[in-house]
Amino acid sequence: MEVIGEWGSGFEDYSLSNNLISRTHLPVQSFYVQTSYLLTGETRSSIGIVKPNKPFDVRKGRFGIGAIEPFFRYEYLDIGRQVFTSGLADQNEWADRVGMTHVGVNWHLTQYIKFYFDWNHADFNQSVVYAPGRSKPFSDVFVVRFQIFF
């Protein structure tokens, strides 16, 4: 099992023009925590590579399903209200806080090929515009990604 987390806090300076005097000092805080588990018994190398005990193969006598790794991740981002009061963003269209949940499965066919299947659910602190004239306080996305490591 792997568990990872990180927290960050800081400030960014932004401006609507190249004027270095009228910059907005914007506080930013964020964190994430994630966990995953290799159901098929593998371990992750020091550089993050998973080498399946039985790489994917459908040939008779060499059958293997690869490595299966369910995962969960929660992340949070809080940008200061100054993003709205300074005119950098319109508070009628955007949010300044979001919490996002990821639930999915990594399928490592070999140590070089991997599929990600990931459902992302985002909760915003207020409705955001996602299409002309339409807004809502959440979003749901299903992501499938193919990765080749070389």
Q: pLDDT per residue over 83-127, tens digit each?
A: 777 777 777 778 888 999 999 999 999 999 999 999 999 999 999
Residue 25 has pLDDT above 90, yes or no: no
DSSP state of 64: B
- Evaluate whether 16 touches 26 at the Cβ level (below 8 Å): no
CB 104 within 8 A of CB 121: no
Distance in angstroms (rounded) separating the CA atoms of residues 112 and 150: 7
- Please calculate the CA angle 43-45-58 and round it to the nearest 5 degrees: 60
Prediction pTM value: 0.77
* CA 98 to chain centroid: 12
Express each pLDDT in 63-90 by its tens digit: 999 999 999 999 999 887 777 777 777 7
Q: Indicate whether 12 pLDDT > 70.
A: no
Does residue 15 register a pLDDT over 80? no
